[in-house]
Structure 1
Amino acid sequence: MTIWFLLIGIGIISMIVQSRFKNKFKKYSEMPLTSGLSGAEVAQKMLNDSNIYDVRIISVEGQLTDHYNPADRTVNLSPEVYHGRSVAAAAVASHECGHAIQHATAYSWLQFRSAMVPLVNVSSKVVSFTLMIGVMLAIWSNNYLLLQIGVAALAVTTVFSFITLPVEFDASKRALVWLDSANITHSRYEHDGAKDALKWAAMTYVIAALSALVTLLYYASILFGRKD
């Protein structure tokens, strides 16, 4: 029962954080950047300042679809960020370039995360049906094998969620330091806006990790509780 309350609580908090983040992004997307640079230009300057010349900056469809792809060394920016000349666009663009810098400097947490990707991809594909069918088999036939596989797969994705946190925090830290040193965020108002936007973006990862942990505890309690 306690885990059910945790699941419901995490679900509610997740919706609040997601809504808060979207509102913050909208707010700072309407705050013009004094330097007048677009997100793409901010990204290019940050890469150049970091002596990284083998990473491409491209525009991808969607909203809040921004990410760095280490496989093809691309900084992928949503149209609103790529073309935007706002504090939010600068914050997001520099954050994604933070990941590119992590890659170029062999940042240990990013390397660890990247090494887990193949295993996580497999785990993500099997976790849903193994848990669903596994619970039914455990109840109906006292067979726990599939449930054990599901819990193990869920454990992998949960660990991955937590490993993602230092990677995201570090990328935001690099972004904010560079935005100040490169004089992209001219005023304290712009700096605080970029920091606030990135803080709420990071919160979505924190909640996702906690949600994964509570879900893991729920299914683990079924597995070990039923076996007892």
Structure 2
Amino acid sequence: MFFHPMDFLILIAFGLSIWAQFRVKGTFTRWSEVRVMSGMTGYDAARRMLDSNGLHDVPVEPVQGTLTDHYDPINRVVRLSEPVYYENSISAVSVACHEVGHAIQHQHSYPMLVLRHRMFPVVNFASGVAPFLLIAGFLFNAMNLVGVGIIFFSAAVAFQLVTLPVEFNASNRARELMISEGFITNEEERGVAKVLNAAALTYVAAALISLLELIKYIMIFTSNRD
């Protein structure tokens, strides 16, 4: 359990995750210093994009912190971190429109988003229980517990994999609408792409780590069963 060949790949993926976190912060900071020619703040861009898609009843609210931006599907609210909400940079507009992309997905019942929402209650429980089952199973050499832990952990991995197309689709929607509605110029699209791609990489790294860990547990379980 503690020393396995898969650990080398997991370590590499973990390094990728750390690098991705630094990259997203660095990219956000860099493009926060570049103002959009339209002069719109993150709030302006989010509000206009919501209104242009008929989502007049979805509010845009500021929240404390950095990179704490998210769309709340339960209360149907776009929440933007203060640096995004108030600033008129490429980073601010990019992040704001990405979150609106999730609201538009919700509006059109984007299948992967619907699946993600339906999975959440199960995954929330499974991800909390899985580590205890796996640890107990390995410590006491109880392969039945390990097997159940793997099933629960698989649900968490599936959730992360489903999250990937949701995030990429939201970014694609944002970029298309930002250009078509004149929020950014064609020259500014390069900066927008860098900000959104850096953010997406963090989700890819997290999913990769979880997937490799799942493969490791399955390999250990299979070898012990044999």
Q: TM-score, normalised by structure 2?
A: 0.95
Find the aligned partners of 2:220 and 2:83 in 1 and give their Cα distance.
Answer: 44
2:65 partner SS:
coil
In the alignment, which residue of structure 2 is the partner of 1:15? 18
2:71 partner SS:
strand
Find the aligned partners of 1:4 and 1:124 in 2 and give their Cα distance.
Answer: 20
Find the aligned partners of 1:214 and 1:87 in 2 and give their Cα distance.
Answer: 35
Whether 2:31 is the aligned partner of 1:31: answer no
Moved more, 50-59 or 173-182: 50-59
How many residues align structurally? Answer: 223
1:58 partner SS:
strand
Find the aligned partners of 1:56 and 1:128 in 2 and give their Cα distance.
Answer: 38
Shift of 1:187: 4.6
Structure 2 spans left out of the alignment, 5+ residues: none
Runs (4+) off by over 2 Å: none
2:7 partner SS:
helix
Whether 2:58 is the aligned partner of 1:50: answer no
Q: Confirm or deny: 8 A CA contact 2:143 2:224 kept in the other structure.
A: no
In the alignment, which residue of structure 2 is the partner of 1:79? 82
In the alignment, which residue of structure 2 is the partner of 1:221? 219
Q: TM-score, normalised by structure 1?
A: 0.94
Find the aligned partners of 1:82 and 1:127 in 2 and give their Cα distance.
Answer: 37
Q: Confirm or deny: 8 A CA contact 2:179 2:186 kept in the other structure.
A: no
Aligned alpha-carbon RMSD (Å)? 1.1
Amino acid at match of 1:32: R
Structure 1 spans left out of the alignment, 5+ residues: none
Percent identity between the two aligned chains: 38
1:75 partner SS:
strand
In the alignment, which residue of structure 1 is the partner of 2:209? 211
In the alignment, which residue of structure 2 is the partner of 1:98? 101
